[in-house]
């Protein structure tokens, strides 16, 4: 297992377009998290899955954002009608729920032009 994989690493899109990111967690991890990081800030929580159930969503996750984790494996994060303010690094992390911290992926950097 090579850790948490995120695809793509970079995405440039025009304002108004839809984008979708994928995260493949560590296979034995049942928890999956999405975070967003903007310049000069720490990662901010977006949403969290335990297996296929989406258990929590941040108020940061507007109705243009949707996340899924079918069958409790990989997850996708879709942003509809992108805005320039959506430009950020989108980080995925997975965890087995123990107290040893998450494992983060390398992130997807989104630039909306």
Partner 1 sequence: DQQVKQNSPSLSVQEGRISILNCDYTNSMFDYFLWYKKYPAEGPTFLISISSIKDKNEDGRFTVFLNKSAKHLSLHIVPSQPGDSAVYFCAASIGNEKLTFGTGTRLTIIP
Contacts with partner 1 by CB under 8 A lie at 4, 33, 35, 40-45, 48, 56, 91, 93, 97-107, 109
Of 8, 3, 1, nearest in space to 107 by CA = 8
Beta carbon nearer to partner 1, 22 or 109? 109
- Report, in Å, the least distance between residue 28 CB and partner 1: 17
Cis peptide preceding 94, ω within 30 of 0: no
Beta carbon nearer to partner 1, 14 or 40? 40
Exposure string of 10-24, with b = 16+ CB inside 10 Å and e = fewer, is ebebeeeeebebebb
Beta carbon nearer to partner 1, 42 or 70? 42
- Report, in Å, the least distance between residue 105 CB and partner 1: 5
User: What radius of gyration, in Å, describes the C-alpha atoms of the chain?
Assistant: 13
- Report, in Å, the least distance between residue 81 CB and partner 1: 26
What is the spatial distance between Cα 48 and Cα 29, in angstroms, rounded to a whole number? 13
Beta carbon nearer to partner 1, 14 or 59? 59
């Amino acid at each position: 297992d090579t850790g948490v994989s995120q695809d793509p690493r970079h995405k440039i899109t025009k304002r108004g377009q839809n984008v979708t990111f994928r995260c493949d967690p560590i296979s034995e991890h049942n928890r999956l998290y999405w975070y967003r990081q903007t310049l000069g800030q720490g990662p901010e929580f977006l949403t969290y899955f335990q297996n296929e159930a989406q258990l929590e969503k941040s108020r940061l996750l507007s109705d243009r954002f949707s996340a899924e984790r079918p069958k409790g494996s990989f997850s996708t994060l879709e942003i509809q009608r992108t805005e320039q303010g959506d430009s950020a690094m989108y980080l995925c992390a997975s965890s087995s729920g123990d107290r040893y911290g998450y494992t983060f992926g390398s992130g997807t950097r989104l630039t909306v032009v």
